[in-house]
Amino acid sequence: MKKLIFCCLVLLMGACKDDKKDPEPETDYATSFVGVYETTTVEGGITSNYKWDITTEAKNKLNIKYTKATKVTISGTTINLTQEYPLVEVKTTAQDNFEVNEKVNVTQNTGEALSVRLSGLGSRIVNGSGVSQINITLKSSEASSGAPNEEVYLEFKKK
């Protein structure tokens, strides 16, 4: 009789067990990227200051206000160009990675219209100084004017 009661209890416990497991919610990696990142490059009389102001409004999706301020000095004359690239479809692909792949309408201080496709895979690391930074090889192409494609490696440091 004890064995029969024990078997019934085991069956009853097995029947009451919840086989439905709630799916784990998708982790939101976007919030860990939020902040302002900057870098400067100097090459052959051209100085470019890059700034990324990163925010997020949706899970695993970044909005980046990308500003590039270029200063060119030629024969004692300085020319300044400021460009703003509103990136709104940047997707985080892992805890420390994201992907840029979108066509953007660039706002320039010259007033000229410019539309480019930007693409690249960004990785966040902590550098030797303990500062968070984003490394990316950013590719841009602008087919409408026939301008050559550009590829630049950048290391944005968090401010």
| Domain coordinates in residue numbering, the chain | 30-158
CATH class of 30-158: mainly beta
- Name beta bridge partners: 41: 48
- Chunked into runs of 10 residues, the chain (159 residues) has average pLDDT values of 62 60 76 96 93 95 97 90 96 95 94 92 94 95 74 95
**Which candidate, 77, 58, 80, places its Cα nearest to that of 67?**
80
Identify the DSSP state of 51. Answer: E
DSSP 130: S
Q: What is the DSSP string of 52-111?
A: EEEEEEETTEEEEEEEEEEEEEETTEEEEEEEEEEEEEEEEEETTEEEEEEEEEEEETT-
